[in-house]
C-alpha cells in the first residue's frame, strides 16, 4: 500500500503521532523490508532533511544499510563520528552543528545538523538510525522523542536475526 499524503509538521506532537501510526501500518516482520520502508517513510514526511537511513552492526563495525539520499560512507567504526558515538554510548546524539562535533564524518557535504538514534533490542545494539539536515539546528527534543518512538515501533514490530550476515 502506498500513500502520497503529507503530514503537517507545524504541530510536532500531532506529526509524530500520525507518523507513528503510518509506521505501525507499514511494518512487516522482516527486518530488511522495514528498514527500507521506514527510511522511505521518513524521507517522505520529514521536511528539511537531505539524508536518512540505517547503519547496522556487523563484525563490530557499522555497515551502511537502507537509506534515502546520496551514496554514503559504507563503514563506520564504533566510537567514530556521530553514528559511532551513538553506537558506543547507546545514547541518541542530537547535533545542532556537525562542524562542532569532534570527529564528525562527512558523507554529504550539505549536512549541517544531524540526529542519530541507536537501535537496541533486548539490551543489544543492532545499529543506528541517522538523519541529516542541510540546515543548522534542525532537530529539537520533540524530534528526538518522536524519532526514538519510531525506532521503538521498528524494534518491536520486527523479527531480528541473531546477527546480520
Ligand atoms: N555524519 C555521520 C556519518 C554518516 S552520514 O552522515 C550518512 C557520522 O558522523 O557518523
Average pLDDT over residues 27-54: 98
Model confidence pLDDT, tens digit, residues 113-163:
999 999 999 999 999 999 999 999 999 999 999 999 999 999 999 999 999
CA of 81 to the centre of ligand 1 (A): 6
Under CATH, what is the fold of the domain 12-157?
Beta-Lactamase (3.30.450)
- Integer Cα distance of 34 and 27 in angstroms: 6
Round the average pLDDT of the chain to a whole number and report it: 95
Where does ligand 1 bind, in terms of residues with CB under 6 Å? 51, 72-73, 76, 81-84, 104-105, 107, 111, 114, 130, 132
Judge contact between 78 and 61, C-beta under 8 A.
yes
pLDDT above 80: residue 104: yes
**Residue 76, all three cell numbers:** 563506520
pLDDT above 60: residue 91: yes
Instruction: Report which protein residue has its CA nearest ligand 1's atom 3.
Output: 105
Instruction: Report which protein residue has its CA nearest ligand 1's atom 6.
Output: 107
- Integer Cα distance of 120 and 142 in angstroms: 20
2-6, 65-69, 133-137, 158-162: lowest mean pLDDT where? 2-6
**Closest by Cα among 7, 6, 9 to 140:** 9
Q: Would you list the DSSP string of 31-78?
A: HHHHHHHHHHHHHHH-SS-SEEEEEEEETTEEEEEEEESS---SEEET
* Sheet with 124-133, side-by-side order of all strands: 75-77, 61-68, 51-58, 124-133, 113-121, 93-95
- Integer Cα distance of 27 and 35 in angstroms: 9
Task: Please give the pLDDT value at position 1.
Answer: 52
| Neighbour-count burial of 128, counting CB atoms closer than 10 A to its CB (0-12 exposed, 13-18 middle, 19+ buried) | buried
CA of 111 to the centre of ligand 1 (A): 9
Q: Give the confidence band of 6 by pLDDT, cuts at 50, 70, 90.
A: confident
Amino acid at each position: 500500500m502506498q500513500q502520497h499524503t503529507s503530514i503537517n509538521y507545524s504541530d510536532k506532537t500531532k506529526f509524530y503521532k500520525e507518523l507513528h501510526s503510518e509506521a505501525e501500518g507499514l511494518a512487516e516482520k522482516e527486518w530488511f523490508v522495514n528498514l527500507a520502508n521506514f527510511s522511505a517513510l521518513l524521507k517522505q514526511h520529514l521536511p528539511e532533511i537531505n539524508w536518512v537511513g540505517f547503519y547496522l552492526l556487523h563484525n563490530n563495525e557499522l555497515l551502511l544499510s537502507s537509506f534515502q539520499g546520496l551514496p554514503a560512507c559504507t563503514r563506520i567504526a564504533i566510537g567514530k563520528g556521530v553514528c559511532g558515538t551513538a553506537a558506543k554510548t547507546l545514547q541518541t546524539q542530537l547535533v545542532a552543528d556537525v562542524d562542532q562535533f569532534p570527529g564528525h564524518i562527512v558523507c554529504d557535504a550539505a549536512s549541517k545538523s544531524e540526529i542519530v538514534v541507536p537501535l537496541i533490542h533486548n539490551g543489544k545494539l543492532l545499529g543506528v538510525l541517522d538523519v541529516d539536515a542541510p540546515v543548522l539546528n534542525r532537530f529539537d527534543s520533540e524530534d528526538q522523542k518522536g524519532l526514538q518512538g519510531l525506532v521503538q515501533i521498528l524494534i518491536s514490530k520486527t523479527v531480528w536475526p541473531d546477527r546480520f550476515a
